[in-house]
Amino acid sequence: MKYVELNNGVKMPILGFGVFQIKDHEECERCVLDAIEVGYRLIDTAQGYGNEEAVGNAIKKSGVPSEELFITTKVWISNAGYENAKKSIEESLNKLQLDYIDLLLIHQPFNDYYGTYRAMEDLYKEEKLKAIGVSNFYPDRLIDLIKYNNVVPAVNQVEVHPFHQQGKAHEIMKKYGVQIQAWAPFAEGKNNMFGDETLKAVGGKYNKSNAQVALRYLIQRGVVVIPKSVRKERMIENIDVFDFELTQEDMGIIAALDKGKSLFFSHYDPEMVEYLTSLVR
């Protein structure tokens, strides 16, 4: 496994396993156990996913010491604000059955995320959180948060995949020492990603699938990826991306797939903001 070093010196696997939309607790527990068994050490969950308890059970059953794992969770919008966030983080620790969380993120830049971040800073100082960061923060919100808080976010988890490569946002994150992390690195199959002829042609040179090429492309750009699958054979396939390297020509060909816009949502869309802020855990 390859690791990246965060801005506070913490090492984070560049490839992990995400559990978004795995709501059934038994299935989620099984998937996390499978993922750990085949070699994943970064597990990404969130309060809003409703499966922190299942992840915690799987961690305990795996027998792998917590210091060998890298566990990420996120504070949901409805838990924003200093006191609410602190309480919810303690709940997350209990559900995950952990003494500390490796990385805690603010899930969305809504409600009192300043209060949330200051609660996170305090728990970071108490070493209950090894690193803190954000998710879905566009460059304007990210810079604002950095300028008026003491701890620079270690990570910003955003939508990144071959069709939305976030080049400008990535450069701004680099400027401030924030590690970019990709949710939906497969675009959840949109734009026929798994059948895309460009990715297929590149993968044919290395006997690799479209999914493996997409992950390798992002990894070579320094992007941390957290692909999700409920199938063990796919988990094995997704982690098998460290035995080949894309050429500069390959990288240029895949770069040309970038559409420059989200395939999912925009925080600049009032209707989407109304929808997101109406959600509860």
- Cα-based distances in Å from 109 to 48, 60, 195: 14, 32, 34
Cβ pair 66, 103 in contact under 8 A: no
- Cα-based distances in Å from 107 to 12, 73, 219: 19, 9, 23
Whether 49 is a known active-site residue: answer yes
In a 13 Å sphere around the CA of 104, the CA atoms on its Cβ side amount to 30
Using alpha carbons, select from 21, 19, 64, 8 the residue that is nearest to residue 41. Answer: 64
Using alpha carbons, select from 109, 117, 103, 127 the residue that is nearest to residue 46. Answer: 103
Under DSSP, the state recorded for 164 is: B
User: Does the annotation place 107 within a ligand binding site?
Assistant: yes
Q: Which of 49, 117, 124, 217 is an active site residue?
A: 49
Compute φ and ψ for 72, nearest 5 degrees: -115, 135
What is the rounded distance in angstroms from the CA atom of residue 222 to the CA atom of residue 108? 23
Amino acid at 56: G
What are the structure tokens assigned to 274, written together?
Answer: 């109304």
Amino acid at 18: G
Residue numbers annotated as active site: 49
Binding residues for substrate: 107
Q: Would you list which residues are annotated within the binding site?
A: 107
